[in-house]
Homo-oligomer: A and B are copies of this chain.
């Protein structure tokens, strides 16, 4: 397998190994969501999947996205008011960098976050599960 194939098969590769009933529709959705820095809405997934499989329905896209989210293969991120974005980079812990003008979303590594912790008064009795961080600002092209 060469570098390019590897990049493009993250999600699809994981799914092949699982015992998940693999239909043409699910493959189309998984393909659309395979790769780095992907953050698509359900509607975007639908239109891209239709390029490859025109008969795919909206309901199936929503079903599949929900299924993949439940399996931990996708992360739902709510960056803006409006539709949820689906991020296939659910395995690797990361945060999001977002341009407030053009809406571009990028995954970023946690960095300098070792000291990101609950203030002492909140820590007591609270079982921390997850920390969501969104960095908002202007990207180079928009600034």
CB of A5 within 8 A of chain B?
Answer: no
Can you list 27 A-B contacts (CB < 8 A)? A76-B81, A78-B81, A97-B126, A111-B117, A111-B118, A111-B119, A111-B120, A112-B115, A112-B116, A112-B117, A115-B115, A116-B116, A116-B133, A124-B140, A125-B140, A125-B143, A127-B138, A128-B135, A128-B137, A129-B137, A129-B138, A130-B136, A131-B133, A131-B134, A132-B132, A132-B133, A133-B133
Interface set of A (CB-CB < 8 Å, partner B): 76, 78, 81, 84, 97, 100, 106, 108-109, 111-120, 122, 124-140, 143
Q: Which residues of B contact A113 (CB under 8 A)?
A: 115-116
| Bound: A131/B112 CA distance, A | 14
| Bound: A125/B99 CA distance, A | 12
Q: Is the CB of B97 within 8 A of A118?
A: yes
Q: Is the CB of A130 within 8 A of B137?
A: yes
The 4 A-B pairs at the shortest CB distance, nearest first, are namely A125-B140, A111-B119, A112-B115, A129-B137
Q: Is the CB of B131 within 8 A of A136?
A: yes
| Bound: A125/B143 CA distance, A | 8
Q: Which residues of B contact A116 (CB under 8 A)?
A: 112-113, 115-116, 133
